[in-house]
């Protein structure tokens, strides 16, 4: 597998761990001194930091496990990434990719023995886009494995946290 494909796979594992709310899996993708910063768009191509950066894989794991909202029954999220631009220079790499996050809300199957109503057809539930932006990520190969050293999440929209 090419280095470019291995770097792209790190991002694929990152978004799957996010969707699964698997902090341990996500944390292992980062170095101990990696910096993760969410940035919100404030103008054309201008982003400002949102909150304090996370430092290290353990902090990423903690954030996923303690600050990400759990999915409700029948709920999940689905991250997609596209238009990956990957540059590899020896043991260092830079990855930039677009992302869209979808909120998935499956209708729960009726508990009665009758099943779905007669007029039900196709997928039961809703899928709606809720976030978009870019991942701008630096990686380093350590003992043959690509790890994230810097991860900027460039949000297209502002963010709010209740009580903050």
**Global pTM value:** 0.91
Number of structural domains in the chain: 1
- Decide if pLDDT at 76 tops 70: yes
**Domain of 151?**
3-112+123-155
Residue 58 inside a domain? The answer is yes
Q: Is 162 within the bounds of a domain? A: no
Of 35-49, 53-67, 111-125, which range is least confident? 111-125
Q: What is the mean pLDDT of residues 44-53?
A: 92
Q: Name the residue with higher pLDDT: 94 or 122.
A: 94
Q: Are 152 and 37 in contact (CB under 8 A)?
A: yes
In a domain, 118, yes or no: no
φ, ψ of residue 12 to 5 degrees: the values are -60, -40
The answer as to whether 44 is a domain residue is yes
Contact 60, 94 (CB under 8 A): no
CATH code at 136? 3.10.450.50
Q: What confidence category does residue 113 fall into, taking pLDDT thresholds of 50, 70 and 90?
A: low
128 contacts 100 by C-beta, under 8 angstroms = no
The reply to whether 163 falls in a domain is: no
- pLDDT score recorded for residue 105: 94
Answer yes or no: are the C-beta atoms of 36 and 54 closer than 8 Å.
yes
Quote the pLDDT of residue 161: 76
């Amino acid at each position: 597998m090419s280095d470019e494909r291995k770097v792209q796979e790190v991002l694929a594992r990152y978004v799957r761990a996010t969707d699964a709310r698997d902090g341990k899996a996500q944390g292992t993708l980062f170095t101990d001194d990696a910096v993760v910063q969410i940035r919100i768009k404030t103008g054309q191509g201008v982003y400002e930091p949102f909150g304090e950066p996370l430092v290290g894989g353990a902090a990423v794991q903690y954030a996923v496990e303690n600050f990400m909202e759990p999915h409700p029954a029948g709920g999940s999220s689905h991250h997609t990434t596209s238009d990956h631009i990957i540059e590899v220079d020896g043991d260092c790499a830079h990855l930039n990719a677009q992302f869209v996050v979808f909120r998935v809300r499956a209708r729960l199957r009726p508990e009665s023995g009758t099943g779905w109503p007669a007029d039900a057809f196709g997928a039961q539930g809703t899928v709606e886009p809720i976030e978009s932006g870019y991942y701008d990520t630096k990686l380093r190969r350590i003992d043959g494995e690509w790890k994230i050293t810097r991860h900027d999440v460039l949000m297209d929209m502002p963010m709010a946290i209740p009580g903050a």
